[in-house]
């Protein structure tokens, strides 16, 4: 496991190191705070974890299994410190030993417990070695981790737990292993010396000690015996040392090299010693780790290359790889099969092109080596080999230094494609001329081109079938036959086109049926109007004749009344003269006898005049009665005339009564005059009575004169009214004649319309349905009340919207509905129901079939404007129900009018967008 120096020093209690730049390592406290689950992830047999770090401990390379078992992605590991996977259970002494070993340039082997991303853990046997460049400087660390045995995991768990608890005495962690140092090793400094130093030291010290011993013992041959003894001891020690230590470890080195030669990089190597043999073993260990790393990397690279080769062989595109010299390194199966089919290569030659230049494929490629040598980027070439045409994409293959190490050639056989393009071009050209019977030849085609040919042929079949059905319907329309339909099941635009064609025919059937029924109704109504006008014309003429007779009678009555008035004036004058005579009678009483005869004659004249007056009164009474009868005939227009006639009649009766009284008085006067001869004496006494009677007669005559003048004025007014009635009746008669002529013209036009519509043929059932649909509807106010009673029903049952124009019309009518409601009329409205924007026909369309175009921005705008439209309409109703009539009226004429305009504009915008989309398709 590779660990940076700064990280190791922070975790080792006895070493410190200056801070370094780069990713920050995690402290012990941070490691303890990270989640730990206690679950162990099993290490898969046969797999290795391989990684590389720089001198700062930043991860620069990881293999796939490292990411798989740790749970991190490569992006999460590359560039991060290796402590990202450290488990808090690892003791600091382990990393101190690791760092101390790596700092000496020696490899390290030990058990390590790593933490996964999710808090799980896994155990590895870590083999870490420094990476040394050509100058002998350490440039990084390389680590290969293998699956440890279960026994080693349990041993490491116990040892690390004891280290953390401080229970181990005289035990140190050396080269990744816990070892108990024996007392002689602790006291013997020779174990820390190199082999030559130990041998030289023993060679000097041994003879010296022997010489001192011999001198103390004395003797002539003591020196000789001491030298021989020292030499013998040195030889024995050297033999023992070489046989026990050097030779044994050299044998270990030989075994390790043999395992490496057998591609076995897992054997243990003792690297605890630092002498010459120990350095050899350390080098072999570093070689083992590095070769294990490189072999694993080469294995993965080889697997990747094999997967690439398999993928290139599986692709249908021809691929060819060359080296820098232009020799073929790889040609995939698709390219070789394509060249064999084209006759460029024989089948037995297809497997022999690898390792040969491009000319082995075809002599036409002889000049391509110079082309590849100068290749700096992508280049497209077209080459004809035999009867086949290939499009070749050339790309240089560069190494990390940017040097070209080969080329990649992507071959695409365009022969069939070009032929198909020509066929498609001819077919499209024929289709553009309306010739839809041409098809692509499917014989000889395979794969994509066969599928494309079949698809295009099926497309034209569907197009021809759809157009044939529509052509059949349109031909029927041209011939007036509305019984034809587009048959069959069609999808997409064809289905929409067939549906639109059938809906067009249905609409024409409905329209023609309605026109037929309407023409029948118009003809019948025109006949009824003509008959009614004829009857009205006859009655108007009769009324005009009656008014003419009434006018003539009124003229006669006027003349009679005028004459009566003249007679009344004359009678008044005579009465006044009689009064004068009576007044003077008292003065000429003495002449009474002589004038009695004159008085008698005058009395007879008076009697005659009174008879005339009585006759006039009688005639006036008769005329007044006739006028009352004629006024009763005139009806409402003769009511005033009847009143005047009644008044005249009353005056005539009074005149008759007065005349009778006068006549009676005159008769008495004559008798008195006759008796006057005998009763002259009584004349004086009765003269006063005569004078009073004469005055009364004068007054009555004045009243008769005034009444006659009033009668004359009233009759004049009645005459003028009758004249105006006569003029109006004549004008009405003229208008009735014009109406009768118009009705006759309308009847003739209805017959012509029925003849024009008769050119279309309808099925019997369709004709019946059309007539039923065209029956006269109920009056507008009745329909509105029944159609929209209670607000909710009317709001939800506005009818099916046949077009966007219906939407516009129905929402424009809302202002009239609200205005009528504010005036106290129309249907009752519920504000909660009015506010719902999914109840009306437009709302049902928006939340139903209209969602097919919900991707259009115009649809979203209309939906929002429609929601605001109903919200403001509901607010108008609420304000009115609260009694805020002025506020409701302000909302109606202001904000609601704007929302109506916005909604109508949004409907038109969506209509234009939908129609534009249909035209585009």
* 400-418 confidence digits (pLDDT tens): 777 888 888 888 777 777 7
For residue 868, name the pLDDT band (cuts at 50, 70, 90): very high
Quick: pLDDT tens for 182-202.
555 555 555 555 556 655 655
Share of the chain above pLDDT 70, in %: 64
Length of the chain: 921
Query: What pLDDT score does 239 carry?
Result: 59
* 3-state class (DSSP) for residue 62: strand
Residue 708: predicted pLDDT: 74
| pLDDT greater than 80 at residue 322 | yes
CB-based contact 846:866 (threshold 8 Å)? yes
- Mean pLDDT of the 860-874 span: 92
pLDDT in the model for residue 622: 84
pLDDT (0 to 100) of residue 786: 33
- Top-confidence residue, 254 or 139: 139
- Give me the pLDDT at residue 7, please: 36
- The better pLDDT of the pair 85, 785 is held by 85
Lowest mean pLDDT among 523-537, 675-689, 821-835, 899-913: 675-689
- pLDDT at residue number 885: 86
Q: Which of 344, 195, 202 is nearest to 273 (CA)?
A: 195
Average pLDDT over every residue of 10-19 = 34
Go through 562-581 and write b for each residue having 16 or more CB atoms within 10 A of its CB, e for each that does not: eebbebbbebbebbeebbeb
Sheet arrangement for strand 108-115: 59-62, 49-53, 138-146, 121-132, 108-115
Q: Which residue has the higher pLDDT, 338 or 822?
A: 822
Tens of pLDDT, residues 905-920: 898 888 888 877 665 6
Please tell me the predicted confidence (pLDDT) of residue 756: 65
Which of 258-267, 680-689, 798-807 shows the lowest per-residue confidence on average (mean pLDDT)? 798-807
pLDDT in tens, 793-850: 333 333 334 467 777 777 777 877 887 888 787 788 899 988 998 888 888 888 888 8
Per-residue pLDDT, 871 = 93
Overall average pLDDT of the 769-793 stretch? 39
- Mean pLDDT computed over 60-87: 90
287-291, 498-502, 642-646, 829-833: least confidently modelled range: 287-291
Which structure tokens are listed for 860? 């979203």
Task: Name the E strands within 332-417.
Answer: 379-385, 388-398, 404-413
Q: What is the reported pLDDT for 271?
A: 60
* Predicted confidence (pLDDT) at residue 776 exceeds the cutoff of 70: no
C-beta atoms surrounding 604 within 10 Å: 12
Of the candidate ranges 468-477, 510-519, 537-546, 856-865, the one whose mean pLDDT is the lowest: 537-546
The residue-averaged pLDDT of 704-710 equals: 75
488 alpha-carbon distance from chain centroid: 31
State yes or no: pLDDT of 69 exceeds 80. yes
| pLDDT top residue among 78 and 100 | 78
Buried b (16+ CB within 10 A) or exposed e, 610-646: beebbebbeebbebbeebbebbeebeeebeebbebbe
Mean pLDDT over 892-898 rounds to 87
- Which residues have CB under 8 Å from 674's CB, separation 6+? 600
- Taking 90 as the threshold, does the pLDDT of residue 286 lie above it? no
Structure tokens at 365: 């490629």
Is residue 774 over pLDDT 50? no
Residue 896, pLDDT above cutoff 60: yes
Among 564, 661, 657, 679, residue whose Cα is nearest residue 607: 661
* Mean pLDDT, rounded, of the chain: 73
- Banded model confidence at residue 84, pLDDT cuts 50, 70, 90: confident
Q: How far apart are CA 701 and CA 654, in angstroms?
A: 11
- Tell me which of 175 and 19 has the higher pLDDT: 175
Q: What mean pLDDT do residues 313-331 have?
A: 79
Nearest partner of 467 among 424, 434, 514, 425, judged by Cα = 434
Mean pLDDT value of segment 895-913: 87
Average pLDDT over residues 656-672: 78
Give 633 or 765, the one with higher predicted confidence. 633
User: Packing angle between helix 276-314 and helix 247-261, nearest 10 degrees?
Assistant: 10
pLDDT at 120 over 90: yes
Please give the pLDDT value at position 792: 35
Q: Residue 72 pLDDT > 90, yes or no?
A: yes
Q: How confident is the model at residue 40 (pLDDT cuts 50, 70, 90)?
A: very high
114's enclosing H/E stretch is strand 108-115
- Cα angle 871, 873, 877 (rounded to 5 degrees) comes to 115
Q: What 3-state class would DSSP assign to 267?
A: coil
CA angle, 185 then 190 then 191, to 5°: 50
- The Cα 2–Cα 20 span in angstroms is 16
pLDDT value at position 114?
92
- Residue 819 is predicted with a pLDDT of 79
Tell me if residue 276 falls in helix, strand or coil.
helix
- Alpha carbon distances (Å) from 74 to 391, 667, 855: 38, 156, 40
Greater confidence (660 vs 742) lies with 660
- pLDDT in the model for residue 39: 92
pLDDT at 6 over 60: no
61 Cβ neighbours under 8 A, 6+ residues apart: 50, 51, 52, 78
Question: Higher-confidence residue: 653 or 147?
Answer: 147
Mean per-residue pLDDT for 535-553? 69
pLDDT at 878: 92
pLDDT per residue over 607-653, tens digit each? 778 778 878 878 887 888 888 887 888 777 777 777 887 888 788 78
Query: Which tokens is 2 given?
Result: 């590779």
pLDDT of residue 135: 84
Q: Which residues, at least 6 apart from 449, have a Cβ–Cβ distance to it below 8 Å?
A: 416, 417, 420
């Amino acid at each position: 496991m590779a660990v940076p120096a700064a990280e190791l020093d922070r975790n080792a209690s006895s070493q410190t190191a200056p801070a370094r730049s780069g990713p920050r390592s995690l402290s012990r406290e941070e490691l303890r705070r990270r989640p730990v689950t206690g679950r162990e992830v099993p290490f898969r047999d046969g797999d290795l974890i391989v990684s590389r770090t720089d001198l700062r401990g930043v991860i620069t390379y990881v293999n796939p299994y490292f990411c798989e078992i740790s749970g991190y992605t490569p992006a999460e590991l590359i560039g991060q410190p290796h402590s990202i996977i450290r488990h808090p259970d690892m003791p600091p002494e382990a990393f101190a030993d690791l760092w101390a070993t790596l700092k000496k340039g020696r490899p390290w082997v030990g058990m390590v417990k790593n933490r996964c991303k999710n808090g799980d853990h896994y155990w590895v046997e870590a083999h870490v070695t420094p990476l040394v460049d050509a100058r002998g400087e350490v440039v990084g660390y390389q680590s290969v981790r293998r699956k440890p045995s279960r026994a080693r995991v349990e041993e490491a768990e116990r040892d690390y737990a004891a280290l953390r608890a401080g229970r181990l005495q005289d035990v140190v962690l050396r080269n990744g292993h816990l070892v108990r140092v024996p007392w002689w090793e602790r006291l013997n400094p020779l174990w820390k010396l190199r082999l030559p130093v130990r041998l030289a030291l023993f060679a000097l010290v041994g003879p010296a000690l022997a010489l001192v011993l011999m001198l103390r013992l004395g003797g002539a041959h003591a020196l000789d015996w001491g030298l021989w003894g020292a030499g013998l001891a040195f030889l024995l020690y050297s033999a023992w040392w070489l046989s026990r230590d050097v030779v044994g470890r050299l044998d270990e080195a030989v075994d390790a090299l043999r395992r490496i030669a057998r591609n076995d990089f897992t054997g243990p190597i003792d690297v605890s010693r630092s002498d010459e043999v120990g350095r050899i073993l350390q080098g072999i260990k570093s070689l083992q780790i590095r070769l294990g790393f490189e072999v694993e990397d080469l294995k993965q690279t080889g697997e990747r290359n094999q997967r690439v080769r398999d993928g290139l062989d599986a692709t249908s595109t021809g691929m060819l790889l060359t080296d820098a010299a232009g020799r073929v390194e790889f040609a995939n199966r698709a390219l070789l099969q394509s060249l064999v089919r084209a006759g460029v290569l024989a089948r037995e030659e297809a497997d022999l092109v690898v390792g040969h230049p491009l000319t082995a494929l075809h002599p036409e490629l002889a000049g391509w080596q110079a082309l590849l040598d100068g290749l700096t980027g992508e280049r497209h070439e077209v080459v004809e080999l035999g009867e086949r045409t290939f499009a070749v994409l050339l790309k240089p293959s560069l190494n990390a230094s940017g040097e070209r190490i080969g080329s990649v050639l992507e071959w695409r056989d365009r022969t069939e494609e070009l032929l198909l393009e020509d066929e498609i071009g001819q077919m499209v050209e024929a289709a553009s001329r309306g010739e839809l019977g041409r098809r692509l030849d499917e014989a000889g085609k395979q794969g994509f081109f066969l599928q494309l040919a079949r698809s295009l042929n099926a497309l034209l079949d569907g197009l021809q079938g759809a157009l044939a059905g529509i052509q059949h319907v349109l031909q029927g329309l041209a011939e007036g036959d509305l019984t034809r339909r587009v048959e069959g099941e069609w999808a997409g635009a064809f289905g929409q086109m067939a549906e639109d064609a059938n809906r067009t025919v249905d609409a024409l059937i409905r329209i023609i049926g309605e026109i037929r029924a309407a023409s029948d109704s118009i003809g019948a109504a025109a006949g009824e109007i003509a008959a009614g006008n004829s009857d009205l014309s006859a009655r108007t003429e009769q009324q005009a004749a009656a008014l003419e007779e009434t006018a003539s009678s009124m003229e006669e009555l006027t003349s009679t009344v005028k004459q009566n008035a003249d007679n009344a004036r004359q009678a008044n004058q005579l009465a006044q003269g009689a009064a004068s005579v009576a007044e003077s009678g008292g003065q000429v009483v003495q002449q009474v006898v002589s004038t009695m005869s004159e008085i008698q004659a005058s009395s007879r004249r008076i009697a005659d005049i009174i008879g005339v007056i009585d006759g006039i009164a009688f005639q006036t009474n008769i005329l007044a009665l006739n006028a009352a009868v004629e006024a009763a005939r005139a009806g409402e227009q003769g009511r005033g005339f009847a009143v005047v006639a009644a008044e005249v009649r009353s005056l005539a009766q009074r005149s008759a009564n007065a005349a009778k009284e006068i006549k009676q008085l005159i008769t008495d006067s004559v008798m008195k005059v006759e008796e006057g001869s005998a009763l002259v004496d009584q004349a004086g006494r009765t003269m006063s009575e005569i004078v009073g009677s004469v005055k009364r007669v004068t007054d009555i005559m004045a009243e008769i004169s005034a009444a006659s003048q009033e009668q004359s004025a009233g009759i004049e007014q009645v005459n003028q009214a009758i004249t105006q009635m006569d003029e109006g009746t004549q004008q009405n008669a003229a208008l009735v004649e014009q109406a009768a002529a118009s009705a006759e013209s309308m009847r003739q036009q209805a017959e012509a319309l029925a003849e024009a519509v008769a050119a279309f043929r309808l099925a019997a059932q369709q004709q019946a349905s059309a007539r039923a649909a065209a029956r006269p509807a109920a009056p507008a106010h009745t329909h509105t009340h029944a159609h929209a009673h209670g607000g909710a029903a009317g709001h939800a049952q506005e009818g099916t919207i046949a077009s966007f124009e219906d939407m516009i019309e129905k929402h424009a009518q809302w202002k009239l509905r609200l205005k009528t409601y504010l005036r106290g009329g129309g249907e009752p409205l519920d504000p909660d129901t009015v506010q719902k924007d999914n109840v009306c026909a437009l709302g049902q369309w928006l939340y139903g079939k209209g969602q097919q175009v919900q991707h259009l921005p115009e649809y979203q705008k209309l939906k929002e404007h429609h929601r605001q439209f109903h919200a403001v309409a509901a607010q108008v109703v609420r304000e009115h129900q609260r009694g805020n009539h002025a506020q409701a009226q302000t909302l109606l004429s202001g904000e609601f009018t704007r929302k109506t305009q916005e909604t109508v504009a949004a409907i038109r915008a969506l209509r234009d967008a939908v129609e534009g989309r249909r035209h585009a398709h």
